[in-house]
A and B are shown apart, each in its own frame.
Chain A
Amino acid sequence: AQKVTQAQTEISVVEKEDVTLDCVYETRDTTYYLFWYKQPPSGELVFLIRRNSFDEQNEISGRYSWNFQKSTSSFNFTITASQVVDSAVYFCALSQAGTALIFGKGTTLSVSS
């Protein structure tokens, strides 16, 4: 069965700390996509990144970076030098043929000044 696990329910850090949000997925398919979304306190869902199963290159976008490792079925998200504006709920999600987009339960990140 397909599943996404975000074991960290809540994380609290102080500004400028680095923080990594873990995402572990389960699937039997060889072709799939992984996503990260951000939900700030205002409530909207903001798309951050999409990665396909054949591309294991890490990605960096400003202070954000993503580490995709098929060997451990993980797609972790790191925020470098966190800021208060990074406070949000972050969702990891899995998509594959014939199924809906499957979300993890989310990690709430609180960044204090």
Chain B
Amino acid sequence: DQQVKQNSPSLSVQEGRISILNCDYTNSMFDYFLWYKKYPAEGPTFLISISSIKDKNEDGRFTVFLNKSAKHLSLHIVPSQPGDSAVYFCAAIGPFNYQLIWGAGTKLIIKP
């Protein structure tokens, strides 16, 4: 049972445009959400997070939106740059603090 779902395996966006990566979750007990970026043959690196008490968090070109009623969050990258091409993982902190529940990832391709 996938508690965190990233339904788009890949996404292609023109350089300079907005990239929107989506993530859905099923467990209403999740109280913290994180986005990670991963290049091939490297470990994931933390990008941005959001607490369940907020609906938006912004850091430079990255903004994460949380819709608790829909159990949905999204990562917006504006403007998209070639270096943003990577796999993006959504993760949630589970009911027990040691749990990190991961989505399957979305491969973002930025076209020049």
Q: Do A and B come from one complex?
A: no
Q: Which residues of A contact B (CB under 8 A)?
A: none
Q: Which residues of B contact A (CB under 8 A)?
A: none
